[in-house]
Amino acid sequence: MHAVGIVAAAGSGLRLGADRPKALVPLADRPLVCWAVDTLRDGGVADVVVAVPGDELTAFATVLPLDVRLVVGGATRTASVRAALDAVSDPARPAADAVLVHDAARPLTPTDVVARVLAALAGGAPAVVPVLPVVDTTVTVDDDGRLTAALPRETLRRVQTPQGFARAALVDAYERLPAEVELTDDAAVVRAAGVPVTTVPGDERAAKVTVPYDLDLAELQVSG
């Protein structure tokens, strides 16, 4: 199976309070995007396409290996992955059977997670996501913040990346998705096209860096 990796790295650093795109924020002196690319490569996915902000191409090219392909991302994560997927489908390159889509914002994802996703794809699953259980009581609230319902947490899962897909299924699902629709992950895109999504165990270390506390925690993990 030939798998290609996509790293979504075109987001801003707004919630992190960063002075640069989040994917360029350093963790132990290395930009987050470099950690994410390494996870895919160490997991056996050598060919990687990274979606980056259009005005930061040079900055990303400076920190990433020469053989990582860069594409200009979009205003939403969905648009960024769509742009990278176009590059993956380049007819001049060997056709990939599978695509793994990973967030640059999950720098400490262990390669075991990549292995589990690849194994499920090799076993015939058209779409695979790593998940973790929800350990807190989880509720819904109304506009005033008043609790309206408690959700049965036994059936809830937190979804991580990398998410794996049969390439044809992912390409087809993105083609069917109206251009203006924004979804928060790629499993949602294929589900909208009716593709069944399998789960494999995720890993707490694959947590997403969103706010400054997450970065502090990641720094502690790499220094400990």
Please, which residue, 98 or 209, has the CB nearer to ligand C5P?
A: 209
The candidate with the shortest Cα–Cα distance to 55, out of 38, 73, 43, 67, is 73
Cα 78 → chain centroid: 11
C-beta nearest to ligand C5P: residue:
11
Please, which residue, 56 or 127, has the CB nearer to ligand C5P?
A: 56
Q: Whole-number minimum distance, CB 25 to ligand C5P, in Å?
A: 10
Q: Whole-number minimum distance, CB 146 to ligand C5P, in Å?
A: 27
60/36 Cα distance (integer angstroms): 13
Q: Whole-number minimum distance, CB 40 to ligand C5P, in Å?
A: 13
| Residues near ligand C5P, by CB under 6 A | 8-11, 22-23, 51, 73-77, 80, 103-105, 208, 210
Instruction: Locate 180 and state its tokens.
Output: 């203006």
Please, which residue, 130 or 142, has the CB nearer to ligand C5P?
A: 130
28/51 Cα distance (integer angstroms): 23
Residue in the structure block whose two tokens are 């502690």: 220
Please, which residue, 75 or 92, has the CB nearer to ligand C5P?
A: 75
The candidate with the shortest Cα–Cα distance to 84, out of 124, 37, 42, is 37
Please, which residue, 24 or 95, has the CB nearer to ligand C5P?
A: 24
Q: Whole-number minimum distance, CB 208 to ligand C5P, in Å?
A: 6
Q: Whole-number minimum distance, CB 109 to ligand C5P, in Å?
A: 12
Please, which residue, 14 or 150, has the CB nearer to ligand C5P?
A: 14
- Ramachandran sector of residue 75 (left: φ over 0; alpha: ψ -120 to 50; beta: rest): alpha
Q: Whole-number minimum distance, CB 149 to ligand C5P, in Å?
A: 25
Please, which residue, 10 or 206, has the CB nearer to ligand C5P?
A: 10
| DSSP states of 10-75 | ---STTTT-SS-GGGSEETTEEHHHHHHHHHHHTT--EEEEEE-GGGHHHHHHHS-TTSEEEE--S
Q: Whole-number minimum distance, CB 177 to ligand C5P, in Å?
A: 15
117/111 Cα distance (integer angstroms): 10
